[in-house]
Amino acid sequence: MESAEDIAFNPDIIQRVFKSAWKIETSKDSILLASEFIRLFTIEAVQRASEEHRILTTDRNNNVIDSEHLERVLPQLLLDF
């Protein structure tokens, strides 16, 4: 399993998404910063969903985080970021 430091988003894809969504040019530094922010946001979402799963699940053999767990933590996560 990959550690949090090994996970990364391809900056070229982030740049294409920004370009298609907002029709703006962005600097390389801003794309790298946005990629890091998205990486940290994703890691935090998974960690919170995992904790929510642990609280709600009685079956300790079930290690699957599903959309319900993400939906439960999303409002507070968005307020925190």
* 79 has a pLDDT exceeding 80: yes
Give CA–CA dist 36/43, Å, rounded.
11
Give CA–CA dist 78/74, Å, rounded.
6
Give CA–CA dist 15/70, Å, rounded.
26
CA distances from 77 to 7, 32, 44, 50 (A): 20, 22, 8, 13
Structure confidence by residue, pLDDT tens digits, 16-39: 998 899 888 889 999 999 999 999
pLDDT at residue 2, as a whole number: 63
58 vs 48, which has greater pLDDT? Answer: 48
Report CA torsion sign: 19, 22, 26, 28. negative
Mean pLDDT estimate for the chain: 87
Among left, alpha and beta (phi > 0; psi -120 to 50; other), residue 23 is left
Least confident of 4-13, 24-33, 38-47: 4-13
